[in-house]
Structure formats: structure tokens, C-alpha cells
Structure 1
Amino acid sequence: MALEKPPYTREQKIAALADQCVQCGLCLPTCPTYGLDGNEAESPRGRIAIAAALARGDTEPTESLRLHLDHCVGCLNCERVCPANVKYGELLVETRAMIGPTPQRPRALLAVLKQPTLLRLAARLGGAKGLGRWRRRLARRLPAESAWRVALEALPESRDIPRLLPSEGHDERPAVALFPGCVASVEDAAAEEATLALLHAAGYRAVRLPAFCCGAIDLHGGEMKAADALADRVRETWRAAGAEHLVTVTPGCLGTLRRALPGVDVADPINLLLARADRLRFQPLARRVALHLPCTQVNVARSDAALATLLRRVPELDVQVVPRAPYCCGAAGAHMLEFPERAARLREATLEQIATVAPQQLLSSNIGCRLHLAAGMDGEGRHWPHMHPLTLLAQQLEVSP
């Protein structure tokens, strides 16, 4: 359906986006969910056809049809190989907004995950009560498909809650605002502190923004009213920051932040650090690390090559990039909570790939991916310590006296 003017309705927009697909099938080999099922409806091409039929009123959003849309992990591998430049991510967001969130969505759990204050309180209580000793026992009492069970299993045994550095004062250095997010602001606080230290060493002035959810969980779940409200908060917070760049240690937030702030330089801090890598010196580290590349780092941040380059500036560090097939580890934001069995199958394939490089440590920049992968590690030699790559870089940073 060719349109001579911009679409006026969501349905028209979805139909126009779908019409860009030439049905070539080049996306199929890159799609993790198609790899799981070999089902056309579980491929980008199949989902585009479903979205178009829904938008044009040719079919109703039955439970079975919407399940194919909900199964999509949003990795955007299809966009990278599409010869027609179909904006699949935008089409998926708009289609989920049109049909609304799934009735099975674990709203109570997601509401907790979006509140950093509640997460910090839970982390402190868990540490005081020895959560690591009893969380798995409690999880086993819950049904296998329970989102709460998955969340308990993904909680770390322990965490370092660092003393967060204060924001730098005003000076002439380029200003970078760090967006802490929700889960990352608690579970990846060490990576955020590391980022501030690295940016400072590279000659930037770092400004820490308040911690809150960027809206990704709601945006990708069809909760558009909540996502729009959080986008407004992002814009207000950014205007008050007075910075030139906005960064986050979690690539999974980048797409949502860019959607809220068109025209703003929303970047992975890796790219800013590599641009000034000549100012950074690292101490040697004789260690073999597996570098897991989250889908959003490859397809949204597009900083995978920059990250590998920066890590290889650490003398003696043996960086082994984990082979990407089957492309997605299965975490995918709330996907691992909503579809734990499917997420576990994707995770197992990723852990097998990690094992092929025989690492001493696992690095991954997405907190959801790291927690999901750690929950699947077993006693067969797959108990690798894991951290954010920026945390390792900050630990090895040579600080001038």
C-alpha cells in the first residue's frame, strides 16, 4: 500500500512499514526464534505479514497470532541484513502498541524492576538476610514458568555496591551525562562508577543523572502510555543536564533513549573512550576473557568493534569474542521472564559457544544478558566470573599520580 503522504494512523504506518518488505528471506538465517522453531510465523518475514494483516483488518489479534509477535526478542539482526532497509524494530513497537500488552504480562514484577529505590532496598535486605543461600530453594518451590522464579534464579549471589563518585563540577571539558537506568543502576552500579572514572581519565566531565527506567520495558511490551510518560521524563532530565553527550552502560537502553531524544548524541561510552584512547593507559592482565556481544551492542550501539579494540589495549589480556550464532542469549529485556523455556534454550546455545573459547572470565555489557547467562551456568566447568567490560577496564586503568 503506497502512501503519497505520511500515515495519519498507527495502522497506516504499520501497513506502510510492512510494504517495504520484499519477502526475500535473507533475514531467516539470522533470526534466533526462527532457529528455535523453523516456523515461518516465528521469522521476521512472517511477523511482518502478521502485522500487515492486523493493521489492514484482515484478521483479529488472536492469542496464537499475537504469541508469534510476543516471541520476538527484538534483536534486530534482521535489520542488519535487510536489502530493503525495512525498519523492523519500529514496525514491531507500533504493532505491539496497536494490539496492546499481552494479558500474561508479569506487571507486578516489572513494576518492581522499574523502581531503582525498591531494587536497592531489596538488594540491601537480601544481603542482610543471606538471600544467596535461600533464593534458589525458594525459586524451586515456584512453577517452572513463573516469572518470579526466573527473577529469583537470576539474582546474583552477591554484589558490590560501590561508593558512587560525585558529578564533576563545571569546567571546560566536554560534558557527558550518564543515564543510570533502573536495574543497571543497582546491579551494574560498579560499571557506572567505572564509566565515570574512565571518562574522567579520558578528559571528559561526567554528570550523573537521576536513576529511573528509560521506558524500554513498556515500549517493547505495548504499554505506550507508560512509555511515553517515561520518555517525557527523559527529555526533562536531559534538558536540565547541560551536557553534550548522553551515555548508558546498558546498550539495551540506547534505542529507547534515542527514540525519546532525536537529534541528541546518545552513545555507548565505549565510542567516546576509544576516541580518546591515547589518554588511557592500562596495567597488564594475563587473563583469557570471553567477550559476549549483546544484540543491542551489535545492532543498536554498533560499538562491538570499538569495545574489542579498547579491551585489546590492556597488555597481556587475551580477548576471545564469543561466536554470535545463535545470535541472542534469550534475555531480551522482559523476554526471559515472559517466556523462560524459550529463553533457556537460547541461553544454553550461547553458553555452549562461550565454552568453546575456554575463558577464565566472561564479559558482557548488558546486565540482563549477564544475569541470564549466570543463572544458566552449571557445574560442568561453566562457572565463569562475569562483569561489565568497563569495570575490567577501570580496574586496569593506570591513574596518574
Structure 2
Amino acid sequence: MKIGHLVESLDPHGVTAALVDLAAAGPPAGIELVVVALAPSGDPAVAAGLDRAAATSVELNVAPWDPRAVRKVVEAFRAQGVDLVHTHGARADVVGAAAAARLRTPAVSTLHHIHDQPADRADRLRRTAKTLARKRFMTRTIATSALQRDWYHRVAGSTTGLSVIPDGAADPGVGTPEEAGRLRRGLGVDEHEVVAVSVAPMRRGQGQDMLLDAIAEIPEDEPLTVVLGGDGPLRPWLESRVSADDALSGRVAFRRRSDPVALLRAADLQLHTTRHDTMPRVLVLGQGTGTPAVATRVGGIPEIVTRDTGALTPVTSSRIADDLLRMVRDPELRARRGAAARTRFLDRFEAAGWAGRLADVYRSALGHSDAPAAAELDTPEPLHAGRV
């Protein structure tokens, strides 16, 4: 099956990073990917990754509300001979549904966000209309979490035509003592130091400010070093705050250009203290490296991190500090949760399994005789659906 994925751009920090992993895992499941981006990204990383996985990528230059968008997408997909269109994102949903209709192919859409707090009644009506249109024009909708399923049910009234399939990831593998040693030498700490890593993007709502508040509560004699990896608009402010505080500057290091997976493989703990999130990919990757997590109990995070694989904390710095300190002081707990995290990743999130579940959806939408019936792919209704 040749599946045409329509995305906004080949942004390495967006959904297309996961599509690179899907392209590599797809062939054994009978899937070949064609990824069409509505707008150029200016970053060649995703296109290069798709090329290595023998997938095709096409970058269009379609401005928002360009009336030629549907025609250009139809031409791109027709040239590649796609069998089904799979859309990701608001604009891609609209353009992709119209393109699939012209191509006379089924259309599948993945929900990547939810809008649970509309600004006013008009906004609520617009979002409800979009969801009902999705239900009408898409052969199937995929939610990546039960949280999204429940939101969809509240808006659409049922989960008919909806499957819950979490995004997967290629197996990052567990870290080695050599990797851990290199990170510690780079930080100037000894082998007994517990190294905790946060690789969340440094932007509003991701909670690094709250994490710094929690770290400030940890006693100075605890063997803990925290690494903030990655980048974002808040990085200069975070660096300034750390440098101005002696307690933080002695314990917190920044690694802007480090590979987040390499950091996770070398770490003892992963920290993800966001104020809101749906299904953060970095937590999935952390589980793949066998790294236990301390994460806030928000959004879809409890569908990734469980009590067996890490600590789920309320969104308060004091509770984050308490759970972090417990993990620092208990190496056996870290080891047990790390092993459970690795097992959970392989069972639930590894890319081959993800590709297989998507292949069932595609084969069903295309009417293959050996495919599951559509009703078999529907997710169960929420537990208390009648009370919504």
C-alpha cells in the first residue's frame, strides 16, 4: 500500500519526525510512504531521513488559503500513485479531504491536538463543525490517546470511525556505561552522581521554570546534576536565571546542541514537568532508552508514564522536588522503573507495532478482504460516556 501523508511542513520538531520512523518500519507491514508538505521547512533533516528509509518526500510552496492547494496536492499524490491519503493538522485535514475526494481514494486523519477550552460559543461551534466534517469526510480518524478519544466523543457524540493508536518510535536502545561515563566526564561529576535530563522544548507551558523551582528545593548535599537539553525561545531566560543563582548554577547544566536521545541514553532519570501536553514524543523515547521518568500528571502523559515506569506528580514544584528526591535516593527503584519503562515501550510504542496497527486501518479503509471490519477498529466509548 502506498500511503500519502499530508503535513504542514517537514519540521523536524513536528509530526514528521515520527513519520521518518514509520517509513523505516513500514515495509514489513506492507506500507510505503509518500510525504507531501504544504510549505517548505528550510531544514533538510526530515527529507534526508525519509530518503534513507526509501520514502518519497515532496515540499510544496502553498500559502495559507491558496486556492491552488488542493490541485497541487492532487498532482503530487497522483504522480506518486498513492492508494490512500493520511492527513496531519488543521490545514492538511481540509486540503487532504478535498484531494482524496478528487483522487477517489479513502482519507484517514490523525488528531494531534485537542481544543478543550474554546474561547466563546462561536469558537465552540466552529470546532464542533470541524469535528463533524471530519467524521463525514474522513474514512477513519485516529486519536493518539484516550484523552483525545474522550474529547472527540464529547464533540462528535460517539467514537464510531475512531481508533486510538499512539504514535510509535524507532527503538532508541538502552544506554551503555561508556555513554553514561562520557556524559559525567563532560559535566565534571563522578560516577556516583545521579544525572537527570530534561529534553522538552524550551517554550511557554513546558514547565522548566517550575522544574528550576523544584531543583532549588533539593538539599545541596544530594548527589544530583540536572541537564537541560534542547532549545527554544525561553532558553536565554532560563540560562540567565540559573547563572544568577549559586545553588542552581552548581547543579544545572545546558546542552543546547546535544542529541536528545543520546542524553536520555546516558541519563539516570528523565524529567518532563510540563503544564500541558498531549502525548510527548520525548517521553516515549525516554521509555525506549529504559530511563525512568518524573513527569507531571497532565494531558496524555499518564498514558505513557505509569507508576511502574516513573513518578507522576501534580503540577507543583514542591511535589516535583519530593518525587525527584525519592528517585535520587533509591537506585533500586530507578532500576526497577527503568526496566519497566523499556518493556512498556516495546509492548506499546515500538515503531513496528505502530506500523502494523496503522496497516490494519489502511487495509480496512481500502476494503481488503483480509482486513478487520470497520467496527472492529472502533475504540470503545468512554467509561462514563452517558454522563458527558
Report the TM-score, using the length of structure 2 for normalisation.
0.31
Higher strand share: 2
Higher helix share: 1
Report the TM-score, using the length of structure 1 for normalisation.
0.30
